Amino acid sequence: MPSDLVLANRGVVDSFGHVSMRHPDRPDRYLLSRSRAPYLVVDADIMEFTLENEPVSHDERALYAERAIHGRIYAARPDVAAICHKHAPATIPFGVTGTDLRPIFHMAWAIGASIPIWDIADRFGDTNVLVTKNEMGDHLAHTLGSHRVARMRDHGSVVTGATLPWSSSPQCICKRMLNCSPQPSVLARFAI
């Protein structure tokens, strides 16, 4: 079962989230579904891409516009074997206000002690906040640095892992953590 479907069934990714993994035999490539809602992904939807985010086979299937997130993080981080990108509404206020999103229970260690915020406007100005160019993906990868998770201002988050389960586990942890967090009262102190 593709990870997209697992995370969609857990309510972790929305209709536009996506999960990839580095090719097990070709570290200069990665595997990502064609563009479709995660809860519809089947094995036949998986495609192979270069780290420049070009499909290896030239078929006519629709591609995710934000695949630059995946290829450019893999290019910058040889230790990363899997990436999950999501647009969880509960995480967006933490990126907009600059409020720390920190581990608040014992299993949350997987997200790391600090989570950087990437703001596309810092370098690319007023955009639709989608990471559609390799330069944007490179900038996001730079902000991510050695962290496992990065918040994306006005957008969502990206999570990396050394294995596919490790890239999806922090997504589940973040969702659980946000469910037990008093975020409205905490965030009310900050101007947006």
How far is Cα 88 from Cα 177, in angstroms, rounded to an integer? 13
What confidence tens digit (pLDDT) does each residue in 136-180 have?
Answer: 999 999 999 999 989 899 888 898 988 765 544 444 445 544 444
Q: What local confidence, expressed as pLDDT, does residue 75 receive?
A: 98
Q: Which residues are catalytic?
A: 66
* Tokens encoding 47: 């495609």
Q: What local confidence, expressed as pLDDT, does residue 111 receive?
A: 75
What confidence tens digit (pLDDT) does each residue in 19-28 have?
Answer: 899 999 999 9
Q: What local confidence, expressed as pLDDT, does residue 8 receive?
A: 53
Which of 65-74, 118-127, 166-175 is least confident?
166-175
Instruction: Report the percentage of the chain scoring pLDDT > 90.
Output: 45
Q: Is 124 helix (H, G, I), strand (E, B) or coil?
A: helix
Tell me the average pLDDT across 74-94.
86
Task: Of 189, 115, 180, 179, give the one whose Cα is nearest residue 153.
Answer: 115
8 Å CB contact between 158 and 112 = no
Domain architecture of the chain: domains with CATH: 3-187 (3.40.225.10)
Amino acid at 168: S
Look at the pTM and tell me if it is higher than 0.75: yes
pLDDT at 4 over 70: no
* Tokens encoding 124: 């690319």
Which residue did the predictor score with more confidence, 6 or 177? 6
Instruction: Report the percentage of the chain scoring pLDDT > 70.
Output: 73
Q: What local confidence, expressed as pLDDT, does residue 164 receive?
A: 64
Q: What local confidence, expressed as pLDDT, does residue 44 receive?
A: 93
